[in-house]
Structure 1
Amino acid sequence: MRKLVIGGICASMIAGLSACNDDKPATQTAAPKAEKTATAAAVTQALTSGIDFANFDKSVRPQDDFYLYVNGGWIKNTEIPSDRTSAGAFYDLREKSKDDVKAIIEEVAASKDLTEGSDEQKVADLYRSFMDTETLDKLGIQPIQAELDKIAKLDSKAALVAYFGESQVLGGGTPMAFYIGVDAKESSRYATHIWQYGLSLPDKDYYFNDAERFVNIRQAFVAHIAKMYQLAGFANPEASAEQVLALETEIAKNHWDKVETRNSTKRYNKLTLAELAELSPNMNWDGYFTALGVADQSDIIINQPSYIQGLDKVVAETKLDVWKNYMQWQLLTHFAGQLSQPLDKENFEFFSKTLNGQAEQQPRWKRGVATVNGLLGEVVGKVYVKRHFTPEAKTRMQTLVENLRGAYGDSIDNLDWMSDNTKVAAKEKLAKFDPKIGYPERWEDYSKLTITADDLIGNGIRASQLQHEKSLEKLSGPIRKWEWHMTPQTVNAYYNATMNEIVFPAAILQPPFFNMQADDAVNYGGIGAVIGHEMGHGFDDQGAKYDGEGNLRDWWTEQDLKEFAARGKALVSQYNDYAVFDDLHVNGELTLGENIGDLSGVTIAYKAYKKSLNGKEAPVIDGLSGDERFFIGFSQIWRAKIKEEAMRNRVATDPHSPAHFRAVGALSNMPEFYNTFELKPTDKMYIAPEKRVKIW
């Protein structure tokens, strides 16, 4: 597991597919023709303005809810597909990416003359190993039986802790996650880190909340473990399942909550091995680090030291047999989706259906594509880029990025709350932003990875082991600035604070985010706001703690920091007031960084758009001014519809606000939006001028 200081545009957010209404009477034969005509018109309009007019709901006033005004028609007419928990702009592209990658994989797999050890052979055989359910059903639990036996033979707590390291290397679950990443206070070197881990449920609150929903989930969780144990042939499944919940509850007591884990300063705790041993004397750190291949390290960064201290006590006070039961569960649940169909289906029933409301499992080919993307992503990415990303698109994106950078610099110059000294440091950081667009300049090497068509679990384990070996090599080498943490076919983007880089994979550079056929207004409102969002992470409440070299250090004056914090506090208050359901509000503290990114992104994108006009008036297209098209372009990228179960999970765990509030929250603070759509104090989106938040 790798943990990165990265802010993404959607991390685990939104996506989509429009669904036709299939329950009309058979006699209404004219309806499909009308629908096709409307769709054709929408396509024609999209090529001129880049705006999907068919998605509007004109019964909603733009001044009251601009998100529903732009997307409400789509929301009313769209059903979430039964094999998904959400639909929307991001998800449309993700589905398209899956189709595109499937075509690449199937074309490779159809070849009869694949050279053993070639990238093509690996892609074909990995996909085949996932799709061959007949072999998986015959094997049953056999692919992980040797590891289950190894866990059963652990004869001491010291051996248990050492096995935590072994499990990490092969891709199993453990109560703590080891990874190698850039040292946040010395960004020219890599360091070893440990992050809290080990829970099966989405968040620590799921183990303690007494509301009926959470009680039911815990009961279903125990029943699920018991069923998995039965399918795997374990003895005493019910009692063992209760043990797992009890131990995970003890582990959860020591977990930091999601707001605490966002705090970059609080997370940086570099300890010597002697200090670590003093913090947690019951842990066999020598055995653990030896298993991980880092026995010669002199120090380690512990992200949540009180968690490790608490885990030490849990290890000491919990019987070894209970721990062995837990570790067998972690192994089983981590590999369940790659085992026999009964285990795979039961895994889906709880984690996707019960927790997230997904009615049906995705077709196996989609999950096969995800497996190939996960293990051999950049092999497929090379072909994907050749087919779906043009040099012209990259050039236009590079221009957009530099225009956004320039607008950000102007905005910093014009801030009335920031001192000159801090402005200089902020602009130095801005100048050092490293934009990566489309695909890596240097591709990942998979030559040492062995893939066979009849060993799905083995393929995954070997890939995990090789990734760990590559990670270890970082400790003795320079920072790998060429490395990407997303494949080109990923619909997302990110900012990496310790490398001060903003990254935009090829797959997100498509409509409605980036439309080569559309005028600049909608592109600045779409992908321009995404670029600005990622730049904004460099200056959000956590990203602003890092300098231009990626070092965690204080480069602010004391007064500027107070002014910055006050603006963040106001944004927290604004988003805390947004009700997702009657009994659930947005967590403004958890989502603060992403909300700053959204507000900064659309604000700077608008400035860049106006700057790109060189003082000229934008043309009127499809009856809309340039400013109107800009704001509509921004709102339509957040188009989304999500099942209630999934939405509740996301509000609890996701640092991004729900899509609806990402759109209206940012725009409600922009004077330019007020001017364009003539908002008045009686309008629902109106915020009094003195209460509007302006940060960058």
Structure 2
Amino acid sequence: MFKRLMTAVAVSTTLLGAVTACSEAPTNSDPVPVTKPAAAQANIGINLNAMDSSIKPGDDFYNYANGNWQRETTIPADRASTGAFLVAFDATEKHKAALINELVNTQHPAGSDEARIADFYKAYTDTTTIDAVGMQPLAVDFARYAAISNVSELSQVLGSNLRADVDPLNATHYATENLFGLFVTQGLATPGEVLPYLLQGGLGLPEREYYLSNDPKMVQIRQQYQQYIQQLLTLAGVEQAAEKAARIFSLETKIAQAHVTRAESEDFTKASVVWSRADFSSKAPGIDWDAFFSAAHLDSFNRFDAYHAGAIPALSELVANEPLQNWQDWLVFHQINSHTDVLPTKLDDAHFAFYGTTLSGTPEQRSRDKRALSALDNYLGNAVGKDYVERYFPASAKAKVSDMVANIINAFHDRVAALDWMAPSTKQEALAKVKSLVVGVGYPDTWPDYSSYQVSATNAYANEVAGEQYRYAQQLAKIGKPQDKHEWWMIPQIVNAVNLPVQNALNFPAGILQQPFFDAKADDAYNYGAIGAVIGHEISHSFDNNGAAFDSTGAMRNWWTKADFARFAEQGEALAAQFDTYAPFDDLHVNGKLTLGENIADVAGLAAALDAYHASLNGQPAPVIDGYTGDQRFFIGFAQTWATKMRDAALRQRIATDGHAPGMYRALTVRNLDAWYEAFDVKPGDKLYLAPEQRVKVW
């Protein structure tokens, strides 16, 4: 999910990339016609068959660009949504399937990454063995939990279960089923110092509001979740499942009450608290912190970013005051729940029925072979990625996208330099931040070393646990060392992009550098409107409501004058109010404040991409292709990358928990650019019209 473009492959939307052409030129006053020419025309890039030219662009630009696609597209049975991201994801998946099939059927040297990939895949897809061994792989973990007899031993177990499974800065990923999650990078308040971050966790539902909201749908989900806990324990052979499910749910409700809100989680100023080792014992008594940190291999470190400092004391108090039996039951459930994909099929199916169908509305589980490819991405992603880019990401694509990135950074620089409302001191800092951006295109310069990761060809559960431990050790090794501004936080084959605020860096993985986001043979207007807007979006995250709090070194500090920030905040409030008006359901609208960072990045990024496209013309007029002007192709290309169909349950979950607005509303970013009004002759009285003073302009 760009800075977070969207959240990994929660990023699902579709554009269907077939190219057709149009023979009739549009006029400024009429909808753009869509007819097929007698002969092939230039590669326009946009999908004309997806459009519905009977719709007036100024009334409903999203359906003007995507209306036929919206009517004709069916969400796959194994998906909660579909769209342009899924098109690119499916293309990547086919490439990975071919790659993995070859690796699995070839002999490799012992200890090589290729052998690890092949063995992981074999174990994961061998459901016959997984079913036959049953719950045996968890016996050691269950014994650890049963042996807990006091708070110190509970603290030791909680520390030993800590994993590097959250990322609040780069992926807005806050959830972990462990009581706490670990993240490692430069501290928010410690420039140049790499720290371990400690985040709240411990929930099986997506976030605290699922436990605390009085909304009838949330109440129903809570009832279904408690039933699911009992079902999973029963299927796993755990005795007294009903009583234990009630205790687990009661404990999780108390954990949720201890959590800070999602809005607070996104407020970096509240998350920059640095605690010493001693602070945990004095400020958050309850947990035996010596036992916890020793088991977590963190006892040699003295400084931590207490990211959820408001929640840690209450969670620690629960460890001391809740009955040990409740914690033991909770540990057993989450050990099962977080690994059902490598446990017997009946548990795996129950997990999907709740998380896939009940929470997201997806009717069918994905096939095992495809899920194995996703699991490989999770645990051996860069090993797969290295082979993937060698086969499927040509140097020419890397070069072309790198040029586009440079052009859009230059355009953003020029936009900042031309601002008339910003004080010289603020502008100087902003320009320094633009100039010092570190950009990675396609894949990292250096690849991780997986030699310490032992992979079995027969034990899928052990492979997952070992993969979690490998990742954890990899992250611990960074603490106290100089920050690597070139560190990648995404694997090359993911269909996404990211802004890294404390590195002042951008990653554009190879997975998104393909159709329908990028086509090296297509018209520049399309590419700048599609992948160019993605590039601009990520650059702009350095200056959204959160990114603007970081300077060019990645340090979080206030480099704004009071008047400048007030002007910036005013525009943010206007944009939040604009998105609050978008309501897919009578009882639910988009949360403009929650999605503000992404929406700011969309507005500023689209404007910079348009400037870069204009600059690429070198003073020449844009060609008219199939009757479309350059700016029309640019805006249509942008809107088509946000073509989105979601199941109602998934859409509700997205709005409740995700910092990204649904794609059909992100496409309406165009309302804030004057050039869109000129391109499609949008006038007062049109439904999407905003008066010039109402159009949000940031950067």
CA-CA distance at 1:178 after TM superposition: 2.3
Partner of 2:60: 65
Cα deviation 1:183-225 (Å, max 9, x = unaligned)? 1233322101101111111121111223332222111111111
- 2:88 equivalent among 80, 90, 93: 93
- 1:356 equivalent among 340, 355, 360: 360
Are 2:34 and 1:15 equivalent residues in the alignment?
no
CA-CA distance at 1:42 after TM superposition: 13
Partner of 1:24: none
- 2:641 equivalent among 628, 637, 644: 637
Q: Which amino acid aligns with 1:235?
A: E
Partner of 2:116: 122
Please tell me whether the aligned partners of residues 14 and 641 of structure 2 are also in contact (alpha carbons under 8 angstroms).
no
Are 2:70 and 1:75 equivalent residues in the alignment?
yes
Partner of 1:327: 331
**More deviation in 307-316 or 242-251?**
307-316
Partner of 2:545: 541
Per the alignment, do residues 42 and 597 of structure 1 end up closer, same or farther by CA in structure 2, a change over 3 Å counting? farther
Please tell me whether the aligned partners of residues 13 and 663 of structure 2 are also in contact (alpha carbons under 8 angstroms).
no
CA-CA distance at 1:581 after TM superposition: 1.2
Are 2:682 and 1:676 equivalent residues in the alignment?
no
Q: Distance in 2 between matches of 1:157 and 1:567?
A: 50
Partner of 1:386: 390
Partner of 1:305: 309
Please tell me whether the aligned partners of residues 2 and 538 of structure 2 are also in contact (alpha carbons under 8 angstroms).
no
- 1:277 equivalent among 278, 281, 286: 281
Cα deviation 1:480-508 (Å, max 9, x = unaligned)? 33321111110000000000001100110
The residue correspondences of 1:248-647 to structure 2 (distance < 5 A) are: 248-647=252-651
Cα deviation 1:461-493 (Å, max 9, x = unaligned)? 122222222222112432233321111110000
Please tell me whether the aligned partners of residues 440 and 486 of structure 2 are also in contact (alpha carbons under 8 angstroms).
no
Cα deviation 1:509-548 (Å, max 9, x = unaligned)? 1122111111110111011110100000000000000011
Name structure 1 gaps, 5 residues minimum: 20-37
Per the alignment, do residues 600 and 236 of structure 1 end up closer, same or farther by CA in structure 2, a change over 3 Å counting? same
Q: Which amino acid aligns with 1:14?
A: S
Q: Distance in 2 between matches of 1:612 and 1:170?
A: 43
CA-CA distance at 1:560 after TM superposition: 0.6
Are 2:151 and 1:151 equivalent residues in the alignment?
no
SS at match of 2:522: coil
Q: Distance in 2 between matches of 1:10 and 1:228?
A: 27
Partner of 2:171: none
Partner of 2:23: none
CA-CA distance at 1:614 after TM superposition: 1.6
Q: Distance in 2 between matches of 1:695 and 1:347?
A: 43
CA-CA distance at 1:13 after TM superposition: 2.6
CA-CA distance at 1:6 after TM superposition: 4.8
Per the alignment, do residues 58 and 40 of structure 1 end up closer, same or farther by CA in structure 2, a change over 3 Å counting? closer
Please tell me whether the aligned partners of residues 5 and 497 of structure 1 are also in contact (alpha carbons under 8 angstroms).
no
Please tell me whether the aligned partners of residues 682 and 689 of structure 2 are also in contact (alpha carbons under 8 angstroms).
yes
CA-CA distance at 1:565 after TM superposition: 0.9
**More deviation in 328-337 or 491-500?**
328-337
Per the alignment, do residues 579 and 441 of structure 1 end up closer, same or farther by CA in structure 2, a change over 3 Å counting? same
Aligned length: 672
SS at match of 1:48: coil
Partner of 2:238: 234
**More deviation in 433-442 or 298-307?**
298-307
When the two structures are superposed, what TM-score results if normalisation uses the length of structure 2? 0.93
Q: Distance in 2 between matches of 1:13 and 1:42?
A: 37
Q: Distance in 2 between matches of 1:273 and 1:40?
A: 69
Per the alignment, do residues 450 and 40 of structure 1 end up closer, same or farther by CA in structure 2, a change over 3 Å counting? farther
Please tell me whether the aligned partners of residues 259 and 590 of structure 1 are also in contact (alpha carbons under 8 angstroms).
yes
Q: Distance in 2 between matches of 1:392 and 1:158?
A: 58
Cα deviation 1:595-645 (Å, max 9, x = unaligned)? 001001111101111111121101111111111111111111101111000
Please tell me whether the aligned partners of residues 442 and 482 of structure 1 are also in contact (alpha carbons under 8 angstroms).
no
**More deviation in 348-357 or 266-275?**
266-275
Please tell me whether the aligned partners of residues 15 and 516 of structure 2 are also in contact (alpha carbons under 8 angstroms).
no
Q: Which amino acid aligns with 1:120?
A: E
Please tell me whether the aligned partners of residues 18 and 78 of structure 1 are also in contact (alpha carbons under 8 angstroms).
no
Name structure 2 gaps, 5 residues minimum: 18-33, 166-175
Cα deviation 1:415-472 (Å, max 9, x = unaligned)? 1221111111100000001110001110111112111111111111122222222222
Per the alignment, do residues 422 and 18 of structure 1 end up closer, same or farther by CA in structure 2, a change over 3 Å counting? closer
Q: Distance in 2 between matches of 1:14 and 1:459?
A: 28
Please tell me whether the aligned partners of residues 6 and 494 of structure 1 are also in contact (alpha carbons under 8 angstroms).
yes
Are 2:226 and 1:222 equivalent residues in the alignment?
yes
Per the alignment, do residues 169 and 264 of structure 1 end up closer, same or farther by CA in structure 2, a change over 3 Å counting? closer
Are 2:693 and 1:687 equivalent residues in the alignment?
no
SS at match of 1:177: strand
Please tell me whether the aligned partners of residues 512 and 633 of structure 1 are also in contact (alpha carbons under 8 angstroms).
no
Q: Distance in 1 between matches of 2:435 and 2:264?
A: 30
SS at match of 2:161: helix
Q: Which amino acid aligns with 2:75?
A: I
Q: Which amino acid aligns with 1:98?
A: E
Q: Distance in 2 between matches of 1:687 and 1:130?
A: 53
Please tell me whether the aligned partners of residues 161 and 296 of structure 2 are also in contact (alpha carbons under 8 angstroms).
no
Are 2:104 and 1:109 equivalent residues in the alignment?
yes
CA-CA distance at 1:327 after TM superposition: 1.1
Partner of 1:26: none
Cα deviation 1:31-67 (Å, max 9, x = unaligned)? xxxxxxx99989966x610010000112321111111
SS at match of 1:268: coil
Q: Distance in 2 between matches of 1:127 and 1:484?
A: 24
Q: Which amino acid aligns with 2:358?
A: T
Q: Which amino acid aligns with 2:298?
A: V
Are 2:652 and 1:648 equivalent residues in the alignment?
yes
Q: Distance in 1 between matches of 2:189 and 2:405?
A: 28
Per the alignment, do residues 656 and 487 of structure 1 end up closer, same or farther by CA in structure 2, a change over 3 Å counting? same
CA-CA distance at 1:305 after TM superposition: 1.3
Q: Distance in 2 between matches of 1:477 and 1:655?
A: 31
SS at match of 1:189: strand
Please tell me whether the aligned partners of residues 635 and 676 of structure 2 are also in contact (alpha carbons under 8 angstroms).
yes
Per the alignment, do residues 39 and 443 of structure 1 end up closer, same or farther by CA in structure 2, a change over 3 Å counting? farther
Q: Distance in 2 between matches of 1:396 and 1:105?
A: 28
Q: Distance in 2 between matches of 1:242 and 1:39?
A: 61
CA-CA distance at 1:655 after TM superposition: 0.4
**More deviation in 211-220 or 99-108?**
211-220
When the two structures are superposed, what TM-score results if normalisation uses the length of structure 1? 0.94
Please tell me whether the aligned partners of residues 361 and 650 of structure 2 are also in contact (alpha carbons under 8 angstroms).
yes
Are 2:144 and 1:140 equivalent residues in the alignment?
no
Q: Distance in 1 between matches of 2:348 and 2:211?
A: 24
Partner of 2:25: none
Partner of 2:51: 56
- 1:191 equivalent among 195, 212, 216: 195
Please tell me whether the aligned partners of residues 131 and 343 of structure 2 are also in contact (alpha carbons under 8 angstroms).
yes
Please tell me whether the aligned partners of residues 577 and 586 of structure 1 are also in contact (alpha carbons under 8 angstroms).
yes
CA-CA distance at 1:5 after TM superposition: 12
SS at match of 2:4: strand
- 1:167 equivalent among 161, 183, 188: 161
